[in-house]
Amino acid sequence: MLLVSPIVRAQSERSLPDRDNGEGTIVVDVWAAAEPDSAVSVLAVKTDLSRNFAALGLTAAGQMRNWQLHVAYTFKSGYPLSEFWIASDRDRSEDALRLAGLAANGEADRAALVQLVNLFGNIRGWIDARIEDKRNLRLANYYMSASAMDNDELFQRNLSCTTSLMSMLASGRLAEETTCR
């Protein structure tokens, strides 16, 4: 998913003499995409989100939170990590994200969608690392330590990001998100 940023168009006209009548015009169009960071910060000026997108984005963020918390619950309860259940949770999150993407119809919606897509990627990366840990028999810390999830910086950052995004979507107003990096 790409950020749809405003496009800057500069037009320059310069008169040059034509061979026959001494007149002429050359038009030069220059197209340059705005920098993504500036596009997001310009849009983050408390812009209203569409109601449909906010509802579907909230559902997507909730699905992503459940996906990550399901894996955490598995560790805390001592259950084996099931790639089937992880894939099922991932697919539900991805479907909810796609629906939110289809409902995004304004610049504010698209800027919020970028944040949701980034969150999805961060959660997927954290979970993929846990699956790789399982394959390499490195999950003992998560099963043996009661504070493993509390000490996992990426897990905590993802939870914080999810909470912030859900709050933003529930308010219906775009806000520049600093916890989702």
pLDDT at 177: 58
Say whether both 89 and 27 belong to one domain: no
Q: Structure tokens of 137? A: 């028999």
The answer to whether residue 75 sits within a structural domain is yes
The answer to whether residue 2 sits within a structural domain is no
Which residue has tokens 């500069």? 10
Quote the CA–CA distance of 169 and 84 in Å, as a whole number.
30
Say whether both 18 and 94 belong to one domain: no
* pTM (predicted TM-score): 0.72
Rounded to 5°, the CA angle 98-100-105 comes to 115
Say whether both 108 and 163 belong to one domain: yes
pLDDT at 2: 38
Number of folded domains that form the chain: 2
Of all residues in the chain, the percent with pLDDT exceeding 90 is 64
Say whether both 22 and 105 belong to one domain: no
Span 105-122, mean pLDDT?
94
Say whether both 27 and 47 belong to one domain: no
Say whether both 13 and 79 belong to one domain: no
DSSP 32-101: EEPPHHHHHHHHTTTPBPPHHHHHHHHHHHHHHHHHHHHHHHHHHHT----HHHHHHHHHHHHHHHHHHH
Cα–Cα nearest to 69, from 166, 158, 147: 158
Each residue's pLDDT tens digit, 146-180: 889 999 999 999 999 999 999 999 999 998 755 67
Say whether both 19 and 54 belong to one domain: no
The answer to whether residue 49 sits within a structural domain is yes
Quote the domain boundaries for residue 82.
Answer: 40-171
Please give the torsion angle defined by the CA atoms of residues 168, 171, 172 and 177, in that order, rounded to the nearest 10 degrees.
Answer: -20
Say whether both 51 and 28 belong to one domain: no
Say whether both 69 and 147 belong to one domain: yes
DSSP 2-18: -----EEEEEEEEE---
The answer to whether residue 105 sits within a structural domain is yes
Each residue's pLDDT tens digit, 4-63: 333 333 333 434 445 455 555 444 444 444 455 544 544 444 489 999 999 999 999 999
